[in-house]
Amino acid sequence: MSEKSTPVTDDYIRYLAKHTTQEDDFLRKLKAAAKAKGIPPIWISPEQGSFMQILLKAVHAREVVEIGTLAGYSAIWMARALPADGGLRTIEISPEHADIAERWISKSDVAGRITVHRGKAEEILPQFAANSADAAFIDADKTSYPLFLRESLRIVRRGGLILADNAFAFGRLFESSDEAVAAIQAFNHIMAQETALQSIIVPVGDGLWFGVKL
């Protein structure tokens, strides 16, 4: 029975969350403030934040690209895993979200490491040089994930990481419900076939694609 995985139920998630780095007061306050401003509460979980920090540290990441800033929550988690002179470029299409993110990032302990790029990722990503990042975190518009993946594969160096959020499609992966779910289903197929990556979906948060560029 060794091939059978233990089902990761809520009890196990709570347990593993308790046994890793915790969210700090600053990030808790950021979420509360963003919620009060009507920002959708679609944060990565603290255990996902911790896991992404571990991955970034494991590859000695100095430069990270993030697609979808929202209020800067995941950007701050990731930037804290970088050296003091490291850099995280995060892209945000919504001016309101970028405003809130920049305000909280400027108050954070990693203000000097994060740059918010305002606009469409389709237009900003091509401006980033090839092999200029150690990792990319793909989030935001699900129908654009294939394009984000192509650009991330160009921007991230060999041996670097491509992470993509929401591989479990908000817990609706096996439903034929809407465009975003269908987009994730199609993207998951693309990831599984992508020969430039070795990757796996890790059942943390809403399913996190974790790929290493070959």
Distance of closest approach, residue 170 Cβ to ligand DHB, in angstroms: 5
Distance of closest approach, residue 165 Cβ to ligand DHB, in angstroms: 5
Closest residue to ligand DHB, judged by C-beta, is 42
How do 156-164 and 208-213 pair as beta strands?
Answer: antiparallel
The binder of Mg ion chosen from 151, 165, 197, 199 (CB under 5 A): 165
DSSP 132-172: -EEEEEE-S-GGGHHHHHHHHHHHEEEEEEEEES-TTGGGT
The binder of Mg ion chosen from 69, 144, 166, 188 (CB under 5 A): 166
23 binds Mg ion (CB under 5 A): no
Q: Please give the biggest Cα pair distance in the chain.
A: 52
Distance of closest approach, residue 206 Cβ to Mg ion, in angstroms: 7
Q: Which does 170 bind (CB under 5 to 8 A by kind): Mg ion, ligand DHB, none?
A: ligand DHB
Our CB check for ligand DHB shows the closer of 8 and 42 to be 42
Our CB check for Mg ion shows the closer of 63 and 66 to be 66
Distance of closest approach, residue 34 Cβ to ligand DHB, in angstroms: 14
* Contact set with ligand DHB (CB under 6 A): 42, 139, 165-166, 170, 206
Q: Which amino acid is at 81?
A: A
What are the residues facing 67 on neighbouring strands?
91, 138
Give the pair of three-digit tokens for residue 109. Answer: 């302990």
Instruction: Say which DSSP state 7 is in.
Output: P
Our CB check for Mg ion shows the closer of 70 and 156 to be 70
From residue 17, give the alpha-carbon distance in Å to each of 8, 11, 13, 154, 179. Answer: 12, 10, 6, 33, 31
